[in-house]
Amino acid sequence: MDSIGINRAPLGSSSSAAAVTARRGIALRPARRSVASTNRVGVATIGFGDASGLRACSEKVRRFDSVRSTTARAQSGNAGRSMTEERGCTMSDTEMPFKYSSGKAFPLGVSQVEGGLNFALFSQHASSVILCLKLPGRGTEDEKGADVVEFVLDQQKNKTGDIWHVIVEGLPASGVLYGYRVGGPQGWDQGHRFDSSTVLLDPYAKLVSGRKYFGVAEEKSSQHFGTYDFDSSPFDWGDDYRLPNLPEADLVIYEMNVRAFTADESSGLDSTSRGSYLGLIDKIPHLLELGVNAVELLPVFEYDELEFKRYPNPRDHMVNTWGYSTINFFAPMSRYASAGGGPVAASKELKQMVKELHKAGIEVILDVVYNHTNEADDAHPYMTSFRGIDNKVYYMLDLNKNAELLNFSGCGNTLNCNHPVVKELILDSLRHWVEEYHIDGFRFDLASVLCRGPDGCPLDAPPLIKEIAKDAVLSRCKIIAEPWDCGGLYLVGRFPNWDRWAEWNGKYRDDLRRFIKGDPGMKGVFATRVSGSADLYQVNKRKPYHGVNFVIAHDGFTLCDLVSYNLKHNDANGEGGCDGCNDNFSWNCGVEGETNDLNVLSLRSRQMKNFHVALMISQGTPMMLMGDEYGHTRYGNNNSYGHDTCINNFQWEQLEQRRDGHFRFFSEMIKFRHSNPILRRDRFLNKNDVTWHEDCWENQESKFLAFTVHDHNSGGDIYLAFNAHDYFVDAVIPPPPHHKCWNRVVDTNLESPNDIVPEGVPFTGPKYRIAPYSSILLKAKP
């Protein structure tokens, strides 16, 4: 899901996939800032046109009391010379000794080399590149008072192929901010968007410096710069550190937001650590008690949470809390550091978080957004990096329509993922997160975009998808596709996979919702979904776990809202209710929204438990959403991307209030799945694995299904029955295996703690009276 609109498969049949038209908002445009137009900045401009080998430079730094004008900037035919007009300046005597040489093309980004620091930037179509450095330690901590040095790169000496590069000696090993000003052709209709007055972020920056604190509106105009840290010692992962390396068949995934998990005061954390990587560490015991063994983190790449505040608009009251608006693909979100610690602290604390999760046996999967960036569209452009470095390479364009940006993401632009250079950037990014941060897997947002060629047409064998599947570094990782996009490319069950890729099973979500709420004609497809969706995934060497089963995800209703609202209630988003999906397959159980009606509340509770039972007994990989374990509500908002409030934030007080009831049921059901391998097979069921107690599959009005999953090893069979009728059903219970008897583990109609009894309650009757909208689970035991 994207931060500014709905990003999901359409609820309903795949035939409607082409109609994924739920509008995504457009990222907003702020006043542009650049180093060139910053008050009180010292500027030294250094040319390379006459550089020969290694050259020493000692520049007087100019410190200005007024804005430095760039309107008279001109470059001669010699790309190494730069002329600037300076107004209202005074001189300081600060000496800045540097040595610089031509540099090397690889690796891209900034790296330590014997001769100093090497800076390398790809731009195929640029005609000029200027490296801009902001230097620390000049007697002020104010970024606006920093010294700025610009290196004008020479096309002959500082360019190899399409890569511009320079080595600078004498720079500090940390604390320097850097960016590039890139000039080139102005042919809009040819796809170019160069603007040499704007300082751009290096796509390969491993750390990004910008605002210190999350969502502080006063900092909204802060510029994002690349930075680096070659001073710190390597992170200590510990001598006894081990990767969890969990089998895919054993995963129970918990989709969560790092900030929202502990941002609320009810978390009990100090204000400096709420909403941070360190804050999540503090709550690992909750994850263990719940029973999940993998967290799927909403985006933790650097993103702009204040993108809606760039200019006055109906959504400028909101803050992007989901993170689907990537600024850079290598840097961790710096404002998830504790106490405003900045990018270096964010990197260290993210590693500490991963280390502690791994110590607890919990894998870390990142939700990654390679389908678009924060740079918006051509109507409201926001140039921070890719657009100004080489728009024609990085984005898909319609060259037959004035080179407009193609929009398969719903956010105004679409990354040109299968261009060789962009493909390599994505692969380098993924490898970086695995090697540097020990990430265990990735969920690819709108992954169908990654299956399109430069012209937007779908590819049968997308090079990027294949290389991710075959890459040696990524070979240990879980790779999960969201197999649709906002251009209607719906690939559930058909995503190119090379027997490696898993998929969010959107059909599972839709079919489970419809059966549990009592839609007619859904019994057969419900059986197909809970038994592993063989109709979708039993191809070549794919396994049931390649289908990620979910009823709820971050976009759409929470589980509580799914059973409390028939309609979305998105007025708070500022889009007049036009955003978010209209087809949710939800049922409010008789009353729209909040109510004190005890009968309605009881029914809603049963339905939530029914959904959870179905999810946890299904073959395939289950995924649940943060907060559903206590019944979190967003009050009917099914597109809550912009609310840094209790709408999204985990409510720890509510968890405590419901710990012995709702939470206990959810936790025990997850643990039951873990303790019963027959519910998580690594192969598809055959006729000997399951008995369907059904002889009337064609009856469209039947909303009852019962079946037994067989345990061929120990005879620990499991009997399940789901009643979606509004009346009682007397189910005939089959005989248990030899020398075994049935024990009731679950009856969602019973009150806690009888609704789930892990050790089981003996049951001997020939029939079980199953209440309306409820489910039961019996376990065969000696």
**Would you name the residues annotated as active-site residues?**
445, 482
* Helical spans, DSSP H, in 549-597: 559-562
Asked if 547 and 535 touch (Cβ cutoff 8 Å), the reply is: no
Backbone φ, ψ for residue 733 (5° rounding): -90, 125
Place of tokens 């801009």: 132
What are the helix and strand counts (H, E) for the chain?
Answer: 14, 30
Amino acid occupying residue 164: W
Angle, helices 463-470/420-437, rounded to nearest 10 degrees: 30
Alpha-helical segments (H) within 360-402: 386-394
Name the pairing type of β-strands 159-160 and 225-229: unpaired
Kindly report whether the peptide bond that precedes residue 299 is cis, defined as omega within 30 degrees of 0: no
Chain CA centroid to CA 275, Å = 16
Residue 686, strand partner residues:
none
- Write down the residue that tokens 């657009």 correspond to: 387
Nearest Cα neighbor of 672 from 781, 512, 566, 511 is 781
Q: Are strands 253-256 and 621-625 parallel, antiparallel or unpaired?
A: parallel
CB 493 within 8 A of CB 507: yes
What DSSP designation does 22 have? P
Question: CB within 8 A of 114, min separation 6: which ones?
Answer: none
- Comparing CA positions, the residue from 187, 198, 336, 340 lying closest to residue 262 is 336
Give the distance, in angstroms, between the CA of residue 392 and the centroid of all CA atoms in the same chain: 26
Q: Kindly report the number of other CB atoms within 10 A of residue 233's CB atom.
A: 5
CA distance 469 to 467: 5
Cβ neighbors of 2 (< 8 A, separation 6 or more) are 24, 322, 324, 325, 369, 372, 409, 410, 411, 445, 446, 641
Burial 663-696 (b: 16+ CB within 10 A, else e): bbbbbbbbbbbeebebbbbeebbeeebbeebeee
Residues 6+ apart with CB under 8 A from 401: none
CA distance 135 to 127: 26
Dist CA 297 CA 276 (whole Å): 13
Report DSSP state, residue 359: H
The answer to whether residues 586 and 563 touch, using CB atoms and an 8 Å cutoff, is yes
Taking alpha carbons only, the member of 107, 130, 277 closest to residue 206 is 107
| DSSP code, position 468 | H
AA identity, residue 593: G
Whole-number Å distance between alpha carbons of 544 and 385: 41
Rg, Å, the chain Cα set: 28
How many other CB atoms are there within 10 angstroms of residue 30's CB atom?
A: 16
Could you tell me which of 631, 627, 667 has the C-alpha nearest to residue 649? 627
Determine the Cα–Cα distance for residues 477 and 473; give it in Å rounded to an integer.
Answer: 8
Among 185, 92, 71, CA closest to 147: 92
**Could you give the CA distance from residue 45 to residue 68 in angstroms, rounded to a whole number?**
13
Residue 28's Cβ-count burial label (10 Å; 0-12, 13-18, 19+) is: buried
Longest dimension (CA), the chain: 96
